[in-house]
Structures are given as C-alpha cells and as structure tokens.
Amino acid sequence: MPYLFTSESVSEGHPDKVADQISDALIDHFLAFDPQSKVACETLVTTGQVVLAGEVKSKAYLDVQDIARSVIRRIGYTKSEYMFEANSCGIFSAIHEQSSDINQGVDKKKKEEQGAGDQGMMFGYASNETEDYMPLALDLAHKILLELAALRRENKQIKYLRPDAKSQVTLEYDDNNKPVRIDAIVVSTQHDDFDTEAKMQAKIKKDIIEILIPRVKAKYKKYARLFNDQIKYHINPTGKFVIGGPHGDTGLTGRKIIVDTYGGKGAHGGGAFSGKDPSKVDRSAAYATRHIAKNLVAAGVADEVLVQVSYAIGVAQPTSINVNTFGTAKVKLSDGQIAKKVMDLFDMRPYFIETRLKLRNPIYSETAAYGHMGRQPQVIEKTFVSPDGKEVKRKVELFTWEKLDYVPKVKKAFGLK
C-alpha cells in the first residue's frame, strides 16, 4: 500500500546549527595545532550571548572568542537588528581540562589498544534510493536549504532573507517501496520586516515557489521528475518570521542529530557528533558504520543496509556488530553471516577507525551544517592562526567516510562481480 515519509533539514543559521558550527570550529583549531587533542565542547547561543563549555586535553592554546565570532560572522549574523551579532555578542568560556578518569581509559601504551571514549551504540545507513546512497526526503530537504542560502548570499533575486530557515519534504512511496512524487514541501525562512503581513506572506510564497524551487529542479535534475502540480506548499505557515536565530530560540550543540544523519530513516544511537574529537565513538564509529553501509550497497550486497556497532568505555574491541539488510540482500547469506564478513573486512577498534578515515585532522567545520552524511569527499587546504600569530596550513581530506574505496574488497569477499 502506498505511504508517505517525511524528513526535515535546518539551515546554517538555525540556532542549534550555529552552536554545532562553533563547537566544530573549536575542534578543528585544536586538531590543527595538536592532532592528539581530546575535546568535548558544547555551545549554547541565545540573545546576544554565547556560552562555551566542555573538557579539553591539548597542547594548543586558542582564542575561543575570536573563533566563535568568525563562525557567527561567516553564517551571516552581522546586523544589530538580529539581536545576535558577531562583533557585539558576549562570549563566556567555561572550558576546562578533561577528566583524568576518562583519559586513562582512552590513552593506552600501545596506540592500537586505544579505548573507546564512551559506551553506546552507533548506526550507519545507506540505500540505493539516491546516487549518494542517502534517503531521498532528507537529501531534498538539504538541497532546498542549500539553494536558499545561496540566494541569501547572492542578495539579487531575493533580498529580504535572514540566516535562520527550516525545510521539510514529504514523499509518496509506491507498493514497491519506491518514491514516486513529492507530496508536500514546507519552508520556513527568517526575513526582514515588511510593510504588511499579507504582502509579506504573498511575496515570500511566490518567491519560494517561483524562484527557489525551479533552481533546485534545475541544479538537481535527477529529482525534477518528483516535482508535480499537486505538491502542497506550506511557506512560513505561522506567518511572520522576523525574529529568528539565537534571539528567537536558544541553540544547543547536538540537538539536530536526525538532520545530521538520515532524516529518520535507519536508526540513531542518540549520540551527537559536533564538538567531539574522534576518540569519541559517538562520532567516529557513526562515520565508520556509514562507510561500511555505503560500500556494501555500492558493491551490490544489498539495496539497503543498516549497520550497528556498540562499545564499552575504555575498551578497544566493539561489544557487538549487527547488520540489517531489510530483506534486500543480493547474496545468499543471512544478515548474521554478512556481519561476520564485515567484521573481517573493517577493523572497528577506535584507533583503526581514526587511521582509516583520517579523522585526526581539522575536517569537522564542514560537517556541521547540511548533514554529516551524503557529502562529497574532497581535498582542500585550510589555514589556522593561533593567538601568538603562528600560522598552520593543512591539506585535509573531507568526508572520507563517503568514499567507495572498499567496494573492490567487499565484492571480493562476497564473490560479487
């Protein structure tokens, strides 16, 4: 029987994402100057105020205020009327040294025996629903906001946009579990004040449907077939959205974990990513399981794969690895047998995850908005400057967990051509 499925995304200007981006900028700076840094930092943003808190073990000294302000400025909070502005907001830091009780479980004499930074379970998911092996509804929700942000920065076709925004896409699936059309699109965008609310609502709805949506269809042609004349559009459904960002709603690191991962498809272990160095398996093992799931699907093992891994704090070997193919496996093996082969192919001890995916590099700022998964791997050069003027240039590889580098090994292990 046909059914509907919905995913949402939020923009880089959403208060929770502002917090995520500040936390990950701190991670990047610590790792740039000391790759062995252990960091868990949280950010709170509200009207005119940023609060930084967390635990750090690092040789690096940073100007955390300057880093936070540069992130806020880049996002676009640069006007006093936003009530949260890069140059004038207060920044309070309560970052302190990491607990030695936790550190002794992570650092070991042999680096290969590095323990997990915490207990818990992590999930990775992939399906062949899209070219980047991501759930389609979430992919579309991200793309809508990426184009909205581009329109805001261009400031030509739409000139009233402010940084905060949310999107939501509802898809209709057929009896064969295939998406056939978009049923509904929700876009809520912060905006400058208008003369009248009626004029405002009419203008914003017209611009979203006639400017934004055609840009999405043109740029992502593979999705154009899903758009139709019967789509139900809900554009700024509450009406006025002038007050937004951290002034409209307090933001916290780690509150958008479903936006960060699979939009409600698959599963989530509950741990946030941003603000955590890769010794925290909440982050590194979630990336590693995505890497596994994507390579399994790309190799043809199954059309859809969910991988779960779990850890005990301070222990290197996972306590379990589970694979679920949802009945879509293309090989004559049970999910348990597939999981056994996965264990042989991918070393899931924290040190080996960090090494395999090159996670002790300053690569995290780019993950903190528009999803950690489904992104394009690329090599870029980044520059970091310390408070004493020391400059570090680092060539880094982003989104290594999205590479299909294990497809040949997977095919060989499973006897696939």
The verdict on whether residue 14 carries a ligand-binding annotation is yes
Helix runs in 126-242, H state only: 136-154, 197-207, 213-219
The verdict on whether residue 165 carries a ligand-binding annotation is yes
Q: What is the CATH classification number for the domain harbouring 224?
A: 3.30.300.10
The verdict on whether residue 97 carries a ligand-binding annotation is no
Residues 229 and 346 in one domain: no
* Count of domains for the chain: 2
The verdict on whether residue 55 carries a ligand-binding annotation is yes
Task: Tell me whether residue 403 is in a domain.
Answer: yes
Residues 224 and 281 in one domain: no
**The whole model's pTM is what?**
0.96
**Binned average pLDDT, 10 residues per bin, the chain of 417 residues:** 96 98 98 96 98 96 97 98 97 86 59 83 97 97 98 98 98 95 98 91 97 96 94 95 97 98 96 96 98 98 98 95 98 98 98 98 98 98 95 97 98 96
| Boundaries of domain holding 154 | 3-10+136-245
The verdict on whether residue 272 carries a ligand-binding annotation is yes
End residue of a domain, out of 245, 275, 307: 245
φ and ψ at residue 231, rounded to 5 degrees: -60, 135
pLDDT of residue 1: 85
Burial of 227 (0-12, 13-18, 19+ CB in 10 A): middle
Tokens representing residue 21 in the block: 């981006």
Handedness of CA 96, 97, 100, 105 (dihedral sign): positive
pLDDT of residue 109: 64
The verdict on whether residue 42 carries a ligand-binding annotation is yes
The verdict on whether residue 255 carries a ligand-binding annotation is yes
pLDDT of residue 217: 96
Task: Tell me whether residue 370 is in a domain.
Answer: yes
The verdict on whether residue 16 carries a ligand-binding annotation is yes
pLDDT of residue 117: 80
The verdict on whether residue 234 carries a ligand-binding annotation is no
φ and ψ at residue 78, rounded to 5 degrees: -125, 10
Residues 165 and 232 in one domain: yes
Determine the distance from the C-alpha atom of residue 43 to the mean position of all C-alpha atoms in its chain, rounded to a whole number.
Answer: 16
The verdict on whether residue 326 carries a ligand-binding annotation is no
How do 49-57 and 90-97 pair as beta strands?
Answer: parallel
Q: Which amino acid is at 250?
A: T
Task: Tell me whether residue 380 is in a domain.
Answer: yes
Residues 301 and 360 in one domain: yes
pLDDT of residue 367: 98
The verdict on whether residue 240 carries a ligand-binding annotation is yes
Residues 156 and 141 sit within 8 Å (Cβ to Cβ): no
pLDDT of residue 330: 97
The verdict on whether residue 247 carries a ligand-binding annotation is no
pLDDT of residue 105: 55
Helix runs in 34-163, H state only: 64-75, 100-106, 136-154
Residues 284 and 406 in one domain: yes
CA distances from 401 to 21, 92, 96, 107 (A): 20, 34, 31, 24
Residues 168 and 124 in one domain: no
Beta strands in 178-303, from DSSP E residues, in sequence order: 179-191, 232-235, 251-252
Residues 96 and 236 sit within 8 Å (Cβ to Cβ): no
Looking at the chain, the number of H-run helices and the number of E-run strands are 12, 13
DSSP-assigned states of every residue in 309-324: EEE-BT-SS-SEEEEE
